[in-house]
Structure 1
Amino acid sequence: MERIAFIMYLHPGNQFEYHKRHNQLWPDMKQALKEHGASNYSIFLDQEADTLFAYLEVENKADFDKIAETDICKKWWAYMAPIMKSNPDNSPVAKNLKQVFYLP
């Protein structure tokens, strides 16, 4: 199992909308995450900085990364793009974090 952590950034004023959309995560998106090996996926919000910290575990990172090629993921990114910093392909601007400690 591989652990992945990264930071993403909300546009100011969109904390409630981000939370609402994730509480209503589309079943097809949830299924795609599972099919690509995601588990124990959590996203935390720094309310003062509009910054999101995401953590998930995957069976294989290379297999998980293929989710970006799916239509449902591209549709989700387009849906989320107006409320967070996004790249030209609508993927969220994300800063990958390096693990420096782990206590099993």
Structure 2
Amino acid sequence: MTMIRKASIMFVNKDSYEEYQKRHDDIWPEMLKELKAHGAHNYSIFLDKESGRLFAYLEIESEEKWKQMGETEICKKWWAYMKPLMDTNPDNSPVSIELSEVFYMA
């Protein structure tokens, strides 16, 4: 199976770094289950403590399957849970800037 590599930038509030980390350390098992069910693999999030920028990287099985993740009840619940810690859109999804791949070395 060929995986699609995705990367994006999100923004966490500077006073919320520890709580953001804690919530991901204790991520709900049902959230992990849905991520995997929607084709997510090798999902990582990195923090730039100077700016509050988050760099997210994951591999997905298909764009269509991945887009359905945001429509699940558990994802909507997670977004609402994370809203106080980060920049969000009106639907509580994180403000996210998708990055274009310019280089890849297998």
1:25 deviation in Å?
0.3
* Alignment root-mean-square deviation, CA: 0.5
The 5-angstrom pairing of residues 68-87 of structure 1 reads 68-87=70-89
Structure 1 counterpart SS, 2:15: coil
Q: Secondary structure at the match of 1:32?
A: helix
TM-score by length of 2: 0.97
- Letter paired with 2:98: N
Determine what percentage of the aligned residue pairs are the same residue.
55
Aligned length: 104
Structure 1 length-normalised TM? 0.99
Q: Which residue of 15, 32, 41 maps to 2:43?
A: 41
Residue identity matched to 2:92:
N
Per-residue CA deviations over 1:13-69 (Å, capped at 9, x if unaligned) read 100000000000000000000000000000000011011000000010111110010
For 1:57-96, what aligned pairs fall within 5 Å after superposition? Answer: 57-96=59-98
- How many angstroms apart in 2 are the aligned matches of 1:23 and 1:12? 18
Counterpart for residue 9 of structure 1: 11
Residue 11 of structure 1 and its aligned partner are, at CA, apart by 1.4
For structure 2, list consecutive stretches of 5 or more residues without a partner in the other structure.
Answer: none
* Structure 1 outlier segments of 4+, above 6 Å: none
d(CA) in 2 for partners of 1:26, 1:67? 15
| Selected match of 1:55 from 35, 45, 57 | 57
Matched, 1:20 2:43: no
The residue identity in structure 1 corresponding to 2:58 is L
Question: In the aligned structure 1, how far is the partner of 2:67 from the partner of 2:49?
Answer: 28
Q: Secondary structure at the match of 1:13?
A: helix
